Structure 1
Amino acid sequence: MNITFLVGHLAKERHSLLYELALDLGEHNNNVTVITGFPSRRITEKVRHYYLEHPIEQVSDNVKVIRVGSKSGEGNGLFIRMIKYVFLTVSIYKQAKRHEADAIYIYSTPPFLGLLGSKLKKIAPTLYNAQDLFPDTLVKMKKLSENNFLVKFLRSLEKKVYNSNAKIVTISEDMKNTIIEQGCNEEKVEVIQNWVDIQKINKVDRENNQLFAKFNLDKNSFYISYAGDIGLFQNWEVILDAAEELDKEFNDIKFVIIGNGSYKDNMEKSIKRRRLNNVFMFPLQPIELVSSAYSLGDLELVSLEKEMTKIALPSKVGQILAAGSPLLGMFDSDSYISSEIKNKNLGAIVDNFRKESLVELIKYYYNNQHELDSISKDVRLYAEQQLERKTQTSKYNDLLRSISS
């Protein structure tokens, strides 16, 4: 089967899930042609120049990557970025229509890419992978009203995306429900959870975790760790409120925040203003240290603002599970991920985003650390049974074959 694979940007250094999906589809004896832009964000200059110099790349026997569009990056500011996304979408379309295909995979970023389903379905049936729900993320970020003219316009485009693609795949039951609420036919929507390479990510015990030496951390302390994007929707002030209260009572309960993002400067200022001695921030670590990063904490913190689970699910959840680390989640209590964490013994959920609940849970596990060992085993087993890479990517292969026949 010939598969055309459309995605805004693809670099194995950053977009590992998409890279793995393309490779695994190729291993199913499909000929996969990836059409994408030139990656620019969150990669080194050396890596960026490599991709600029290799617009066409044969990454495996059955997978070829063709890079199109601007080489100058995504731009700064929302308006400039949106304009560049439009031009990138046009460039991807011009290249895609030159290729014969039995099925076409379309990723949800950039946000206009899904509209190509209405054009490309003349070539082959299309599968739209809604990893991000747009314009919901924009509405949340900019606090826009549904009555806003721009939001109404974007909602009309969203409905066109859902109506024009043969299949819609998203990554959680909550996101599926959101898509259906926007008028999409329920029979078109499938859920395939994002996977994790459980052969590559494992538990790293504290004695062998090189990040403790690298960050000069006391191995005898109790750690709440976060690794990933330091963005606008992680309830940081609630977390720092909890850290401030714990700092007054304990000298061996510590928070480690690893990553970069739009809220990082605010975090650093807030930590300094509060004079916190128990919160430590470090830059994003190389991908080869992912197991160490997600094994660092006694509890691994994952947080999303209220109602964000309806439109997003952090990819780091799978990596934390593969590392066998107990989750400390701050999500909507009625969300699917919260139910899984509570019902499958994967960790604990903060009650209603309350600082008091967060403090109480941290104190509980600090005083009952023996319980974390059994949770850790259940966490790793869940990853092996539910999130194994080949199992999950095979589901995409089966769906693409089903719409092509």
Structure 2
Amino acid sequence: MKVLLLPSYFLPEGISSPYISWNRNQAFVEEGWDVVVYTPVPCRGISDDVRKEYKHKKLEMMLDGKMTVHRFSLIPEKKNPLLRAFRYFVQNIKQFDRGVFFKDARSCDVMLIASTPPTQGAMAALIKKCTGRPFVYNLQDIFPDSLVGAGFSNEGSILWKIGRVIENFTYKNADKIVVISEAFKQNIMAKGVPENKIEVVYNWVDQKAVVPVAKEYNPLFEELGINKEKFHVVYAGNLGNAQNIDVIIDSAREMVGDKEVEFLIFGTGGLKEQFVEKVKNYGINNVKFFPLQPMERVSQVYGLGDACVVSCKPGLGGAAMPSKMLSIMSAGRAVVASFDEGELTYILNHYNCGRYAPAGDMQAFVKLIREMVADRKACEEMGRNARQLILNQFTREYGTSRYVDIIRKVIENSRS
């Protein structure tokens, strides 16, 4: 069997939770399948040296030769939303062309399509109409709902109506839709998607790769010059609009008198310079910025923290549990969330593995951190509870096996 992937971003790009797709691809190969990838030349979150390396590296064999990665040239990603949308449009045209006409793609049995950008699903539907090849749609973000939640559009606007047309066309033509929460399932069922077309597969974490690291054994403290005695609040990930890094920085300014607390921010993204400048303008010294670390150092990064942050702008988090939270929990650290209410809230409260404040409520967020600082033993207990929950319910093996089963059944049904 052969699986075709048409991602917008691919390793070595700095993207959110890259291990999810990588673990999935490993599972496909372990099943004896081949994987074919057509993706743009990398541009997001990489160094100039890496960018130069991949400029002419159009073919790459990975996973012992079982995964073939074809890269094509594309204009670099821009901050301007219109330019970014244009880039996605050109990308879709190129991936459609490859999905329909290129030999390596034509030999594939099924497509697994991500939901970023939302036009990916419509593109896959058109490829299916031309080739008869089925596709599984991996819904990690619901569009255009996310635009409305972020305040970028209003329900009933032209942009919203276009988004709904794209959404309906995708759902209608997908052979299976994999969603990451029960809330997502209920959302698209309310839009007319039959329940038997939907599969719920929660995101996971590689519990063997992301493990608790005690402070006394964590080399990052010395490498980065971080004081082990302080209470550290760690954020790691994309530094963009949706993540609401402002709430972290504003909280740090509010807590500048709490001398034992320090905020550590690891990341990359279009707004990083803006956030660094904001800290300088505030004149505070309790926030430190560091580059996003390699995947293999995730345990050490979160191991720096006494509490680790999951954040979003109001309306942008959605009802699902972000995969970042799973990495924090697997590292055995307490979660401190500034997030939309949903499954995240239930898990933090029900399993006592962190604390929650409504997205954007800086004062409530500060209150949570101060409570954690005041009772470090309780904070450590939350971290232990978090690790145990990962081992019980969110392992890599379970999540990847569900994708393998779903794709196998789609292929079998297409052949019957």
Counterpart of 2:346 in structure 1 is 339
- 1:185-334 matches, cutoff 5 A: 185-248=194-257, 250-310=258-318, 314-333=322-341
Which residue is equivalent to 1:6?
6
Residue pair 1:169, 1:191 contacting (<8 A) in 2 also: yes
CA-to-aligned-CA distance 1:88-140 (integer Å, 9 cap, x gap): 22222222234133322112223322113323335232101112333344445
**Paired AA for residue 229 in structure 1:** N
Determine which of 189, 195, 200 is the counterpart of 1:180.
189
CA change 1:130–1:279 in 2 (3 A) is same
TM-score by length of 2: 0.88
Q: Any idea what SS the aligned residue of 1:251 has?
A: coil
Percentage identity across paired residues of the two chains: 31
Where does structure 1 lack aligned partners over 5 or more consecutive residues? none
Whichever residue aligns with residue 270 of structure 2, its letter is S
Distance (whole Å) between structure 1 residues aligned to residue 277 and residue 111 of structure 2: 46
8 A Cα contact 2:62 2:69, kept in partner = no
Question: Do the aligned partners of residues 404 and 243 (structure 1) sit closer, same or farther apart at CA in structure 2, a change above 3 Å counting?
Answer: same
Alpha-carbon separation, structure 1, partners of 2:92 and 2:109: 21
In the superposition, the TM-score normalised over structure 1's length comes to 0.90
Deviations 1:148-203 (A, max 9, x none): 32331122111111111011112223333333344333332222122222222212
Does the CA-based 8 Å contact 2:233-2:264 persist in structure 1?
Answer: yes
Query: Number of residue pairs matched?
Result: 403
Report the alpha carbon displacement of residue 142 of structure 1 after superposing the two structures with TM: 6.1
Shift of 1:72: 4.0
| 2-structure distance, mates of 1:73, 1:237 | 26
Name the structure 1 match of 2:389. 382
Match of 1:34 in 2: 37
Q: Tell me, in whole angstroms, the C-alpha distance in 2 between the residues paired with 1:216 and 1:22.
A: 37
Are the counterparts in 2 of residues 202 and 324 from structure 1 also a CA contact under 8 Å?
yes
Structure 1 residue identity aligned to 2:381? S
2:375 aligned to 368, 371, 374, which one? Answer: 368
The Cα of 1:386 is off from its aligned counterpart by 2.3
Which one-letter code corresponds to 1:393 in the other structure? T
8 Å CA contact 1:126, 1:167 repeated in 2:
yes
Q: CA deviation at 1:289?
A: 2.2
SS at match of 1:179: helix
The answer to whether the aligner puts 1:74 opposite 2:77 as a matched pair is yes
Per-residue CA deviation, residues 219-254 of structure 1 (Å, 9 max, x unaligned), is: 111111111112223344443443333323x21122
What is the RMSD of the two structures over their aligned residues, measured on CA atoms? 2.5
Aligned residue number for residue 356 of structure 2: 349
1:147 maps to which of 146, 150, 156: 156
Shift of 1:75: 4.4
- 1:74-93 aligned at under 5 Å gives the runs 74-75=77-78, 77-93=80-96
Shift of the 38–264 alpha-carbon distance from structure 1 to 2, 3 Å rule, reads: closer
Alpha-carbon distance, 1:74 to partner: 3.2
The equivalences for 1:5-154 within 5 A come to 5-12=5-12, 14=14, 15-61=18-64, 63-75=66-78, 77-97=80-100, 98=103, 99-121=106-128, 122-140=131-149, 143-154=152-163
Partner SS, residue 317 of structure 2: helix
Name the CA distance, whole Å, in 2 between partners of 1:4 and 1:373.
43
Q: Do the aligned residues in 1 keep the contact of 2:312 with 2:360 (CA within 8 Å)?
A: no
